[in-house]
Amino acid sequence: MLLGDARTGKLADNIAGFGRALRRAGVRMDSSRLALACDAALAVGVHDRADLGAALEAVMVSREQDRGVFRELFDAYFRNPDVAHKLLAQMLPSAEGKAEPSRRRPRVREALSPQQGFGRQAPKPAEDTVDFDAAMTASDLQRLRHADFNALGASEYRLVERLARDIALPVPQVAARRTRPGAAGARMHWPGVMRHAARTGGELLRLPRLTRREQPLPLLVLVDVSGSMERYARLLLAFLHAATRSLGGHRGRRDVFAFGTHLTDLTPAFRLADTDDMLRAAGALIEDFAGGTRLGESLASLRTQHARRLVGRRTLVLVISDGLDTGEPAQLEAELAWLGRRSRRLLWLNPLLRFDGYAPVARGAAVLHRHAQGMLAVHNLSRLEELAAGLAALMKH
């Protein structure tokens, strides 16, 4: 079937409109992918809807977690059975479907909603209009607190990211080597004893003592930025930056690294006061975002280049990952053993714990599970709120 040039005319506009809908749903989209989509439509034709969908998916989707969104959005965008004839006639495809909107993914529902200007949603037809209060209801907040980060729509994701910045994460306190005057302690504070005796004519009426200061544990965070962790990584980076802001100065130490195919030091970005500035700086530093996961090689770089970040076996290490490692298990085993010897606790924060009956059966996950002293879930707001209590409980064992 001869279609003519698919890069001009209404067909190109239709594909561009579908690309904009994918971008609203959170799928990465740029002009080069739209050009490839036009070439793919020219190559396979529009007489077979399944072939057209497979061709567009091959060039417009690069992340596994976006495939379900693409297929559902494609079905809704091109649901009309006469879509091939409409494309040939250079008509706009119908975005109305037979499926109930409530059964669609949140990202797909938001992408299919009519748009009015940039970032503004146009009103729906009268039969589909639903009125909401200007303020978010308690039920909406409760739903967002327990919603998986990977299942949120674009606007919901931005809102949850803002809410995550208000969650506190008190790092466990330990007794420091330095002391201060106090009511109880094993050693006498002799300068204080002499000062009090001078005020009372030489009588020893008060015996001040020295007690050890309390200080937060040094914190080392390793964040997985691979493709399967993409929607978790940005939100957890924003949460950690706001929740551990007090550790960036003299009160404690905080080192943050991102790992995918290699290790990236995000500590300079975390020194920025504003969380949005930190996210932009981190995005500029990370070159392997949404790629693979090689934790063993990244830990080897940590050992050879940044070993001094681990302070005297007192550092609390948090590994944020789903454990889907593609490197060599033997190397990961050796590097995790080294990391465990150099740290106080090695804790694994795993978003896959959202699944009931989860078991670390993948090779990398099994190795990480053997070396971690504890495993906590970090897939929604309620789990982030419980994270501080979980860290304190694990530190006691």
Per-residue confidence band for 298, with pLDDT thresholds at 50, 70 and 90: very high
* Burial class for 57, CB neighbours closer than 10 Å (0-12, 13-18, 19+): middle
Per-residue confidence (pLDDT) for residue 212, from 0 to 100: 83
With beta carbons less than 8 A apart as the criterion, state whether 111 and 24 touch: yes
How many whole angstroms separate alpha carbon 296 and alpha carbon 319?
Answer: 12
pLDDT digits (tens, 9 = 90+) for 247-289: 765 567 899 999 999 999 999 999 998 999 999 999 999 998 8
How many whole angstroms separate alpha carbon 191 and alpha carbon 260?
Answer: 54
With beta carbons less than 8 A apart as the criterion, state whether 120 and 128 touch: no
Q: 81 pLDDT exceeds 70?
A: no
With beta carbons less than 8 A apart as the criterion, state whether 110 and 24 touch: yes
pLDDT digits (tens, 9 = 90+) for 302-351: 999 999 999 888 899 999 999 999 999 999 999 999 999 999 999 999 99
Per-residue confidence band for 356, with pLDDT thresholds at 50, 70 and 90: confident
Per-residue confidence (pLDDT) for residue 174, from 0 to 100: 75
Q: 127 pLDDT exceeds 60?
A: no
Q: 292 pLDDT exceeds 60?
A: yes
Q: 93 pLDDT exceeds 70?
A: no
Ranges of H-type helices in 7-153: 9-24, 31-44, 49-60, 67-77, 83-88, 106-112, 138-146
Query: Which of 127-131, 161-165, 359-363, 384-388 shows the lowest mean pLDDT across its residues?
Result: 127-131
Per-residue confidence (pLDDT) for residue 388, from 0 to 100: 79
Q: What is the arithmetic mean of pLDDT over 41-61?
A: 88
DSSP code string of 228-285: GGHHHHHHHHHHHHHHTGGGGSTT--EEEEEESSSEEE-HHHHTSSSHHHHHHHHHHH
How many whole angstroms separate alpha carbon 175 and alpha carbon 360?
Answer: 35
pLDDT digits (tens, 9 = 90+) for 158-202: 889 988 998 888 887 777 778 888 878 888 888 888 888 888 888
